[in-house]
Amino acid sequence: MNNDHFHGKYEVELKYRLVSKANFLEVLNHIPHEIMLQDNLESDWYFDTPDKALYAQNKSLCIRKMEPSGIKLWIVKGPEADRCEATNINDEITAISMLKTMGYEVTLKAEKVRSIYFVGKFHITVDSLDGIGDFAEFAIMTDDELMLSTYKSELETLANRFGLTKVALQNKSYKQMIMEKYS
């Protein structure tokens, strides 16, 4: 398994709503792929300042814990739509405490069930969120800003192999979807 899939400061990502997760996985089973993890429970803590300065700057700060894999991440997205950086951490409880000590507040805690598959240089993430639905994210991380549009086209072609088209494309983040549903 190649962990280079998650290195880079840019992420090209296309998120599609799935009509049938079972049908999607059936197609995946007929395509050469590697399994990174299956059916992990992800807990995400999103942070912002009391005056919502990160939100105003189109930035997102998240601490993520994945079980049973034990992966723990510090994730920052924005301000550009494709900008995303993540790093492994050892202790999510201390990281959360440190952010609170610095004046950040938890603005949302969200959970989802996630599986990650590698298809060539791309990764496909299949997510289930209670009350929101099932989704597939086709993505690649890169440091090469000049490749963003090329990768987007390649990801669209890969998604088409699963029968996914622009009709199913989702432009909202999970955070946005959850906040809209429960606010």
The C-alpha atoms of residue 109 and residue 66 are separated, in whole angstroms, by: 14
pLDDT of 7 reads 72
Higher pLDDT, 6 or 114: 114
**Residues 119-165 pLDDT 10s:** 999 999 999 999 999 999 999 989 898 999 999 999 999 999 999 99
Q: Are 39 and 57 in contact (CB under 8 A)?
A: no
Q: Quick check: 51 pLDDT over 70?
A: yes
How crowded is residue 111: how many other Cβ atoms within 10 Å of its Cβ?
Answer: 13
Report the DSSP beta bridge partners of residue 126.
115, 136
Mean pLDDT of the chain: 93
CA 1 to chain centroid, in Å, comes to 19
Label residue 5 by pLDDT band (50, 70, 90). low
- Give me the active site residues, please: 46
Give the per-residue pLDDT at 3: 57
Report yes or no: 123 and 111 within 8 Å, Cβ to Cβ.
no
Cis peptide before 32 (omega within 30 of 0): no
What is the C-alpha separation between 10 and 84, in angstroms, rounded? 5
**Lateral strand order in the sheet of 122-129:** 84-88, 72-77, 60-67, 34-48, 105-119, 122-129, 133-142, 10-17, 169-170
Higher pLDDT, 102 or 179: 102
